[in-house]
Amino acid sequence: MVEMSDLVKKCTDMLRVRTDFWLLEDENVEMKVSRYPFDNNKMPVMCQFSEGTSSESYEAYESGNRSIIYYDDGRWFKAKGIGIPRGISRPIYHDKKIYTYQLYGDLDMCHHSAIWGYMEKVDLNCELYGVKETNELGMDIETSGFGEYKKGYYISFKDRRELFNFLKSSKESDRLKKLFGSSKLTQLFSFYSFIPSDLRVQELLFVFMFPQIEYMLDTTECKEYVRWLGSSCGYRLRQLHEVDLLHGTWIGDRKAEIGLADVHSNSYTGNHTITEEDTWLVDFDLAKTSKDDSLKDLENWCLINMANPLLYAGSYLGNEALRMGLAKKNTFREELARQFVDGVNEGYDGEIHYIEKQLRRNMLEKLCKSKQFLWELFKLPKDLIGDIYYIDALMLKTTLKDIDIKKAVNAIQI
């Protein structure tokens, strides 16, 4: 079992947003856990407490929109599906009940239906199955167990637009009246595990979207590192497919803007975590068994093309984004994209591109420092890790002048 390195811990502190969570203990909580950093009868949640209720809060790092990571004995404890960290859509804890929302037809989400902030039983079972299978393949994820909250309540909306229109256009008293008075009973599930890192390959690749990055980092080292990243991610995906396990992909009925099928998949670089040693797969809430080679090929395509910061936004068909005026041509970024594609294909064929361990460590450190600097320079929110369209549009109207970015990055202490 790989313990988290000091570098991973420092990089996580540099890049992650801190948030509060609470531990619930009441008759509606049922825990089935093995190794666990809290009392076995207490369930972590992120929610808003109604008037007259209170509880001691704890601090963790956000991991996506509904999960946290919490440092425990050399590893990250990850609690997935425990609520929402902030904002108007946070679930509400009231009278020993959790109130939240259901989305039953959001075409932009990976699930046909979703309980806002939490997991449904089908998602939990997929997660348990996927982690068990990958652990047997030698990937370093340790299942801690899961929690169930037996008295969860929800009101339904078609999609996020309808939900937030309701939240923003109604008074708090009216929202609470609807939540408490016309909601439906359900069970809310959370999944717990221990992982060596929550740093994502995707968030590191975002650094290469910015102009002049080739003056900030050694270009040869960048190419070698990106090639290694691609091959490691491709190799991990091939391990799943060799035992007929899909990371999780489904195809919708509508057509995307550029004419491709409506593909939803967990198989992209945002679900590959990284240390200076290796990469791992995470997030298996869509995992399933399949012998369908066409779906395996699709997942390999998704790993290369879906939400990949090395590609221009909307550029699954080549230079579409450039023709539409959504991005500036960046030859270094394009070369790195080719290196990543070659790496994925190499890894999927069974070979991981070799680079020295020291280079892996140095590049992880440099990319994390560069990301922190660039995010501060462009005044980007720290939790913005997945909006390629926004950053491409930002680069269209931005130039870096009179800034020695290499010197500025090297001055950052880690």
Q: Hey, CA dihedral for 341, 15, 400, 411, is it positive or negative?
A: negative
| Residue 280: Cβ-neighbour burial (10 angstroms; 0-12, 13-18, 19+) | buried
CA angle 18, 23, 28 (to 5 degrees): 140
User: Which range has the worst mean pLDDT, 10-24, 38-52, 160-174, 392-406?
Assistant: 392-406
Residue 24 has pLDDT above 90, yes or no: yes
Query: Residue 369 CA to chain centroid, in angstroms?
Result: 20
- Distance (Å, whole) CA 229 – CA 270: 12
Q: Report the 10 Å Cβ neighbour count for 27.
A: 8
DSSP state of 3: P
Q: What's the token pair of residue 50? A: 């109604």
Alpha-carbon separation of residue 375 from 64, 132, 226, 321, 380 (angstroms): 18, 36, 21, 23, 5
Tokens of 156: 């339904």
pLDDT digit string (tens) for 198-230? 999 999 999 999 888 888 889 999 999 999 999
Residue count of the chain, please give it: 414
Nearest to 370 by CA among 401, 342, 410: 410
What rounded mean pLDDT belongs to the chain?
89
- How much is the average pLDDT of 51-74? 86
How far apart are the C-alpha atoms of 208 and 16, rounded to whole Å? 19
CA distance linking residue 328 with residue 323, whole number of Å = 10
Per residue in 127-160, pLDDT (tens digit) is 999 999 998 998 888 999 999 999 999 999 998 9
Could you tell me which residues are beta bridge partners of residue 194?
77, 142
Q: How many CB atoms lie within 10 A of CB 217?
A: 21
How far apart, in whole angstroms, are the C-alpha atoms of residue 299 and residue 353? 20
Structure confidence at residue 259 (pLDDT): 47
Residue entry with tokens 């390195």: 5
pLDDT surpasses 70 at 123: yes
Cα 387 to Cα 30, 50, 123, 307, 312: the distances in Å are 37, 33, 25, 8, 11
pLDDT at 181: 87
In this prediction, residues 88-115 reach a mean pLDDT of: 86
Q: So what's the pLDDT on residue 107? A: 67
- What count of other Cβ atoms lies within 10 Å of the Cβ of residue 379? 7
- Least confident residue range of 43-47, 209-213, 266-270: 209-213
- Tell me: the pLDDT tens digits for 293-330? 999 999 999 999 988 999 987 655 456 677 777 778 88
Asked if pLDDT for residue 52 goes beyond 70, the answer is no
